[in-house]
Structure 1
Amino acid sequence: MQNITNQTLTDTMLYQDVPVLTYTIHYPYFTTNCSQAAAMHVNNYYKYQARQKEDYCRNVLYKEAVEQATYATDHEFPFNKYEFLSVYTVTYNNDCVTSLYSDQYTYLGGAHGNTVRDSQTWDFQTGYQLSLSDYFPNNQTFTQDIISEINKQITEREKQDPSTYFEDFPSLVRGNFNLEGFYVTPDGIVIYYQQYDIAPYSTGIPEFFFPFSESSSRT
């Protein structure tokens, strides 16, 4: 098991003494008994990602926020401060494997913000990420099997709560399937899709659970 310490980059950026953008970026810092070199590699990965997000906030979002604030003032419109929030959730942390996902929420002053998710599952013996195929050994058709099961789960959900997915979800499930869109829990694997990929905004980020007993053994 890895020890995890939270690191944070945050700031409220002003334009003419008015707050126009607030950003908060959380990212993990790991220590482990598995491999110090692997931990250093993983830590550098998240530090770099966090700095990239901060650079985007300070050099792209801030400029857009200032332009929108200036336009709103000139036309006597209300201005809603821009927001950027990146938060990670650790879903599995045992022996030399850690899995987590990060949700990146961006609000640009409209009716609602948008969330984008990414995830990683790390082997702290090697410093490399585990792939979805690692959890389906000796199964050449695991992607097709996963897609078929997702369609079954959506069909059941639609019976109980209609219109929570787009009508053409079977083609969208296949077309938007992402091999990197998964994370591991103690009981199984979760496959997820981004907002709007297969369902309306109100559905959020769709998730589909695959118990280890039905998918594969744990790594």
Structure 2
Amino acid sequence: MQTITNKTLADTLYYEDIPVLTYTIHYPYFTTTCGYTTAWRINNFYRFQAKQKENYARTTLYKEAVEQAKYQKENNYPFNNYEVLSIYQITYNNNCIVSLYTDYYTYLGGAHGTTERTSETWDFQTGKRLSLSDYFPDDPMFMESILAEISRQVTDRLEKEPSTYFEDYPSLIQGNFNIEGFYVTPEGIVIYYQQYDIAPYSTGIPEFLLPFQNCTKNSNT
């Protein structure tokens, strides 16, 4: 099992006396007995991602926020400051395997913000980032099985809560499927879709659990 320390990049940026943008970017720092070199590489991966997000906030988004603040001030409109928030969640940490996802939220002054999710599952012994196919090594048709199970779960959910998914969800499930859009929990593999991929904003980020007994490999290997 790995030990995780939280690291944070945060600041509030101003235009004149107006706070136009705030950002808070959390990212993990790992220590492990499974492999010092692999931990160093994985830590660099998250450090680099965090710095990229910070740079984007301090340059591109800050410039946009300043322009918007100027316009709002000139026209006597209230200005809602921009916000960036990046939060990770460790979903599995056992032996030398770690899985996590990161939700990257941006608010640009509109009715609501947007959230984009990314995820990784690591083997700290080898340094390999595990893929979805690693959990189905003996099943060449695993993709079809996953898509069918997701469709079944959506159908069940719609019976209980109508209108929580788009009407053309069967084609959207297949067309918007991202093979990297998964993370691991003690119960199984969770497949997720981004906002608006298969459901309206109010549904959030749709998630679908595939229990480990339905896989041909468990998370301990």
With the length of structure 2 as denominator, give the TM-score of the two structures: 0.98
* 8 A Cα contact 2:134 2:217, kept in partner: no
Superposed, which structure 2 residues align to 1:57-136 within 5 Å? 57-136=57-136
Q: Name the amino acid aligned to 2:11.
A: D
Match of 2:173 in 1: 173
Aligned residue identity for 1:3: T
CA distance in structure 2 between the aligned counterparts of 1:128 and 1:14, rounded to whole angstroms? 41
Structure 1 residue 157 displacement after superposition: 0.3
Mapped partners of 1:163, 1:65: distance in 2: 35
The sequence identity of aligned pairs, in percent, is: 65
| Deviations 1:169-192 (CA, angstroms, capped at 9, x unpaired) | 000000000110000001100000
AA at the equivalent of 1:213:
Q
- What is residue 55 of structure 2 aligned with on the other side? 55
Task: Answer yes or no: is 1:161 the counterpart of 2:161.
Answer: yes
Structure 1 residues 182-197: aligned runs within 5 Å: 182-197=182-197
Q: State how far apart, in whole Å, the 2-side matches of 1:12 and 1:59 are.
A: 13
Name the aligned partner's letter for residue 159 of structure 1: E
Which residues of structure 2 form unaligned runs of 5+? Answer: none
- Structure 1: gaps spanning 5 or more residues: none
Q: Distance in 1 between matches of 2:72 and 2:187?
A: 50
The Cα shift of 1:214 comes to: 1.6
- In the alignment, is residue 24 of structure 1 matched against residue 24 of structure 2? yes
Secondary structure of the corresponding residue to residue 101 of structure 2? strand
Moved >2 Å (runs of 4+): none
Task: Name the CA distance, whole Å, in 2 between partners of 1:174 and 1:141.
Answer: 14
The alignment partner of 1:109 has SS state of coil
TM-score by length of 1: 0.99
Q: Distance in 1 between matches of 2:216 and 2:61?
A: 42
Counterpart Cα distance in 1 of 2:144 and 2:175: 12
Name the residue aligned to 1:202. Answer: 202
Pairwise CA distance, 1:217? 3.0
Deviation sequence 1:189-211 (CA, Å, 0-9, x none): 00000000000000000000001
Q: Which amino acid aligns with 1:146?
A: I
Tell me which amino acid in the other structure corresponds to 1:210.
L
**Structure 1 position 18, deviation (Å):** 1.0
- Code of the residue aligned with 2:82 in structure 1: it is Y
1:127, distance to aligned residue in structure 2 (A)? 1.2
Distance 1:20 1:98 in 2: 36
Instruction: Give distance in 1, aligned partners of 2:67 and 2:145.
Output: 48
**In structure 2, C-alpha distance between the alignment counterparts of 1:57 and 1:205, rounded to whole Å:** 23
RMSD: 0.6
Q: For residues 128 and 12 of structure 1, what CA distance do their matches in structure 2 show?
A: 36
